[in-house]
Structure 1
Amino acid sequence: MVEKKKLQVEAIGTGTVIDHIPAGQGVKILSQLQLLGTDLRITVGFNLPSKELGLKDIIKVENRLFNETEASELGLFAPQATINVIENYAVRAKFKMSVPEKLEGVFECPNSNCITHNEPVQSSFAIKERNNDIQLKCRYCEKSFSKDIVAGL
């Protein structure tokens, strides 16, 4: 008997595919990248079968090409995710995500007394993994926060 392979999510001609997202993290990524409420055509798959993860989420964004810098914050929510930049139905570039060592200007510091709220300085966080949680330490107030607190999730 021949096993038929069927695409779970339709292919896109030009855009970005964020694949190998741990199941349940897709919504956080959509929110963090501010993709909801845009005119972009977005296809999202939740709890799709994956050989590596068991279950995974996938996000396809048509006509928007992500670059490695722009996608670096995804490492906080899906360090094993891959970003595929698609042109003419072919993968033009592929980025493997990982937890970055630092993030600058991406999130506000949750500490309302931090200098970043009152002075014209860009936020800056050092990132550490502790007890299966990712902690962000503010460069200015030196307080540490869970990634979900900093990202406002």
Structure 2
Amino acid sequence: MSTTVQSIDELVENFELLGDWESRFGYLIDLGKELPPLAAADQCEENRVHGCQAQVWLKFVPESDGRITIAADSDAFIVKGLISVLLAVYSGKTAGEILAIDGEVELGRLDLAAHLSPTRKNGLFAMVQRVRELAAAAQEATP
């Protein structure tokens, strides 16, 4: 099973193959270990996601075709795995497409909220909120 996830559909399929939550959390940790690190210069207050127990930094990288690549990192492997899930949902889309996605519904397909601690769940939704804030700002800035 590949730890390079391209879409939320692929991630849902992989979760179903794994079956139990111990294996799924192991898979999330593996995804986190594969996440490319964010440059030290980008691990700054401007990119910090507040509301997460772990330190999380997230930034948008606009592409020439109007799509947005999301770059993010954390100091905790499980959170890095959750970042990989967010990237599967949001990265590579336009600001408008990002804003049209119901993150709660998409993440609900994995049933993560029922299996995360309250602090991890709050952190995950803080990351979703930050993605939406950045997408709204990017959409406003687009002529």
Bigger fraction of residues in strand: 1
Same fold (TM over 0.5): no
**TM-score when normalising by structure 2:** 0.26
**TM-score when normalising by structure 1:** 0.25
Q: Which has the higher contact order (CA 8 A, sep 6+)?
A: 2
Q: Which has the larger radius of gyration?
A: 1
